[in-house]
Amino acid sequence: MSATKPRLAERFRALPFYTVPAAFGLAAGFMGAAYAAPSIMPKILGDGGQGRVVELLKARLPKTEVSKVDCAKVQGLCEVTAGRSLFYVDKGARYLVIGRVYDMQTQQDLTATRLLEMNPDMLVGGAAKASAEGDGAPAPSARPASAPAPAPVKHLDVAGLPASGAIVWGNSAGRTVTVFSDFRCGYCRALTNTLRELKVRVIERPISTLGSRDLANQVYCAKNREKALHAAYAGEQITSGGTCDTSGLDANEKFARAHGLGGTPVIVRSDGAVIEGYRPKEFLSSWIAGGRS
């Protein structure tokens, strides 16, 4: 056992931050790599046991520099930040879990969100997609892993797009953002939840990057498009509105192809500034406020 612990600690420390979700993914929880350390029964302190967890980690992973421990976010687990890496331990710091934590109530990937908070310049792309493909979780992008990544789009003029291709929802008095999305994109769903919390006005333009055009047609032709949109993201049944003219969706698809939008979500601010991929709430709030109202 004494020889195993240093090897594990050294191996984990060598993992870059983007391999943590990619190497060990899960669909509705996590299946981690764990090891049993000598039994040390910690006293759970008033801070949720975080101070004790830090001390135990120092003893059990001496070569790993722990920068933050949060035992309040996920019941029964402590989230551990070590440089640009993220992992989880129980409150006794005996079991170490490497993987993704997915909140099924809010339908958010907590691990991906935290990684983005730690590394705001990281767009959820290849690494998160690789993990999602292995575990059945929603993928953020439809771009094949072997395809070269296109140059990031920095500015888009969406004024020429027809109003008929948009599903407008949210706070009519809030700042406006345009979102190119796919109803089968997990990070589009997470973004939708975040934008609702930010109380902004959203002009959503569905594009079919994950083969979701039939679903987009159902949402677009529904009597209540906003309700249908949220139902689609939640995986709920959409009340049929029959067939309708979906040429506006065709215009969205044509625009996306012309501007190289191969993945979703793509967020366009009122001044044309662009973000490709999901970002945390705090970042989006500041970024959206930087545009025209």
pLDDT at res. 152: 63
pLDDT at res. 106: 66
281-289 helix and 186-198 helix, angle to the nearest 10 degrees? 60
C-alpha span between 237 and 75 (Å, rounded) = 31
Positions in the chain whose pLDDT score sits under 50: 1-46, 122-149, 293
CATH architecture designation of domain 163-289: 3-Layer(aba) Sandwich (3.40)
Tell me the domain boundaries of the chain: 4-135, 163-289
Identify whether the C-beta of residue 24 lies closer than 8 Å to the C-beta of residue 32.
Answer: yes
Tell which CATH classification among 3.40.50.1010, 3.90.180.10, 3.10.450.70, 3.10.450.710 matches the domain 4-135. Answer: 3.10.450.70
β strands within 75-225, DSSP E = 77-82, 85-90, 96-97, 102-103, 108-109, 167-170, 176-181, 201-206
pLDDT at res. 47: 57
pLDDT at res. 149: 47
pLDDT at res. 38: 35
pLDDT at res. 28: 29
| pTM of the predicted model as reported, rounded to 2 decimal places | 0.55
Identify whether the C-beta of residue 118 lies closer than 8 Å to the C-beta of residue 87.
Answer: no
Residue with tokens 């987009």: 216
pLDDT at res. 103: 78
pLDDT at res. 128: 36
pLDDT at res. 21: 31
